[in-house]
Amino acid sequence: MTIMIPAWVEGTLTPVEKLEAHVKGLRHKAVSVFVLDGDKVLLQQRAMSKYHTPGLWANTCCTHPEWDEDPLDCAVRRLEEEIGLTSIVPEHRHHLEYRADVGGGLTEHEVVDVFVAEAPQRLKITLNPDEVMAVSWMRFCELSAEVERTPERFTPWLRIYLQEHGETIFEGLSAVS
């Protein structure tokens, strides 16, 4: 299945195949979601079948909106598709841009809408094994420390989010306990 995502080609927003955007390092739209339970962050370990950064830990879910898809609709869709979360409506928290080498000759140059949602009680998680191999709750202060200690275990974008945008994304949470 070919997935067309919004990317800027010669200054114009154009539908581009997702893999092509990463091979060419094209600037393109993305969505990231963090589900929180107090000071705990729900992380996912990416499936080994992912074409980049397999097995690394990332935020709750992330993806690229389809052509003409609203970022909030995309965030809600991917929460359900990746980890089976329904009835969660995340709030827009931040808009950022980053560029990162994700290995295998691929580059992410993403313009990201970041969303945050508070986990409802009795959260039922159902993993899509094509996307996610495990999930884990980690206190924000422990996550920050672990990323500093063993950055190779985490996706480049999660490291960037924590190091460069953590105060805005995780407003009110302290990296130190």
Please state the domain count of the chain: 1
Q: How far apart are CA 57 and CA 85, in angstroms?
A: 18
Full-model pTM? 0.94
Q: How far apart, in Å, are the Cα atoms of 131 and each of 59, 62, 87, 167? A: 13, 10, 20, 28
Domain for residue 50, yes or no?
yes
Per-residue pLDDT at 2: 76
Q: What is the pLDDT of residue 172?
A: 79
pLDDT at 177: 47
Residue at 176 is within a domain: no
In a domain, 56, yes or no: yes
Q: How many CB atoms sit inside 10 A of residue 143's CB?
A: 25
Give pLDDT, residue 160. 97
Residue 8 has pLDDT above 60, yes or no: yes
Question: What per-residue confidence (pLDDT) applies to 148?
Answer: 96
Overall average pLDDT of the 33-47 stretch: 97
Any catalytic annotation for residue 141?
no
Residue 35 has pLDDT above 50, yes or no: yes
Q: Could you tell me if residue 31 is inside a domain?
A: yes
The answer to whether residue 23 is domain-embedded is yes
> pLDDT-derived band of residue 24, with 50, 70 and 90 as boundaries?
very high
Domain limits at 79?
Answer: 4-168
CA distance 13 to 22: 16
pLDDT surpassing 90 at residue 155: yes
pLDDT, residue 7, reads 95
Q: Is 62 a catalytic residue?
A: yes
Q: Out of 90-94, 104-108, 119-123, 126-130, pick the least confident.
A: 119-123
Q: Is 175 within a domain?
A: no
For residue 9 the two structure tokens come to: 């080609």
Domain CATH for 135: 3.90.79.10
The confidence band for 1, taking pLDDT boundaries of 50, 70 and 90, is low
At 24, list the tokens: 């060419």
Q: What is the pLDDT of residues 95-109, one digit of tens each?
A: 999 999 999 999 999
The active-site residue out of 61, 62, 74, 108 is 62
Among the listed residues 61, 82, 108, 110, the single catalytic one is 110
173 lies in a domain?
A: no
pLDDT at 92 over 90: yes
Task: With a cut of 50, say whether residue 164 has pLDDT above it.
Answer: yes
